[in-house]
Each structure stands twice: as structure tokens, then as C-alpha cells.
Structure 1
Amino acid sequence: MPTTRPRHQVTETPEVARALDLAARRWPDEPRSRLLVRLVTAGGLTLAEGHDEETGRRLAAIGDTAGKYADAFADGYLSDLRDDWPA
């Protein structure tokens, strides 16, 4: 089908074949070409969810530690540190 979008060619390696076989169990009436699109879409969603979870964990860790070590540094510590940096 004509398109102006980029096309991607994928060789059915053993790993790709296994993924397609698994996808065929979930979507049994789909041709392998459509299964590939479904796998890419599902993989993208999974990665996005994982990224969101990871970001949430990082933000929680920042919140848990924010301000806990304020007494470890004397007043003006950051200013003094910046004075040591080259301009």
C-alpha cells in the first residue's frame, strides 16, 4: 500500500518468531504482519508504563530524602562551593 511514512523491514529471527507465535495465541485470526504491529504497540505501551513507574519511584525517593540532610552543611556551603568553580 502506498505511504509517505517510513517502512521497517524485520527478519523473522528465532526471537521474533517466538514473539509472533505468542501473539498468535492472543490474536489467532491476525496475519503475522498484523501481529508484528500489535507486538510493537504492546511493547511501546509496556515501556511507557515502566517509565512512568520508574519516574514515580524516583520522585518518591526524592520526596523521602528532601531536606533530611540540611544540617549536614553549614550556612553558605553552596555559595562557597560555587566560588571555587571556574567562571
Structure 2
Amino acid sequence: MPTALTRIQVTQTAALREALELAESEWPGLPKSEQVVRLAVLGAERLAERGSHRRATRRAALEATRGSIAYPPGYLDALRKDWPE
């Protein structure tokens, strides 16, 4: 079908073949190209969720430890004293 969108070519490796078998059971009768699109979109959504989860976990850890270290007076000045100008 003619399109102005960029096309890509994908080699059907063993891993992709397994993914397409799962896709066929989930979306029977759909053309392989549409199954590949749906698998890619679901994979991208999963990566975005995982990234959001990692950021939330880091934020929670930072929040849980905020203020838990008591630095002595003048700590930053002493630390910066060794920095080059």
C-alpha cells in the first residue's frame, strides 16, 4: 500500500518469531506487519512505565533519606577550599 511514511525492514529472528506467535494468539488474523506494530508500541509503553517506576523509586529513596545526615558546621566551606578556582 502506498504511503509517505518511512518503512523499516525487520528480519524474523527466533526471538521475533516467538513474539509473533504470542501476538497471533492475542490478535488472531491480524497481518504480521500490524502485529509487529502492536508489539513495538506495547514494548515502548513498557519501557516508559519502567523508566517512570525507576524515577519514582529514586525520588522515594531521596525523600526517605532527606535530612538524615548531619554535616558539621563549615562542611561545605572546607570542601570547597580544595576546589580549583
TM-aligned CA deviation for residue 51 of structure 1: 0.9
Identity of paired residues, percent? 39
Q: How does 1:6-17 map to 2 (within 5 A)?
A: 6-17=6-17
* C-alpha distance in structure 2 between counterparts of 1:37 and 1:76, whole Å: 58
Aligned position for 1:82: 80
2:59 alignment partner AA: L
* C-alpha distance in structure 2 between counterparts of 1:52 and 1:12, whole Å: 31
TM-score (norm 1): 0.89
What secondary structure is seen at the aligned counterpart in 2 of 1:68? Answer: coil
Which ranges of 4 or more aligned residues in structure 1 deviate by more than 4 Å? none
Structure 1 unmatched ranges of 5 or more = none
What secondary structure is seen at the aligned counterpart in 2 of 1:34? Answer: helix
| 1:65 correspondence with 2:65 | yes
1:2 alignment partner AA: T
1:19 alignment partner AA: A
TM-aligned CA deviation for residue 29 of structure 1: 2.1
Q: How does 1:1-87 map to 2 (within 5 A)?
A: 1-3=2-4, 5-69=5-69, 71=70, 73-87=71-85
What secondary structure is seen at the aligned counterpart in 2 of 1:6? Answer: coil
User: Aligned residues, how many?
Assistant: 84
2:64 alignment partner AA: D
TM-score (norm 2): 0.90
Q: CA RMSD in A?
A: 1.1
* C-alpha distance in structure 2 between counterparts of 1:15 and 1:47, whole Å: 18
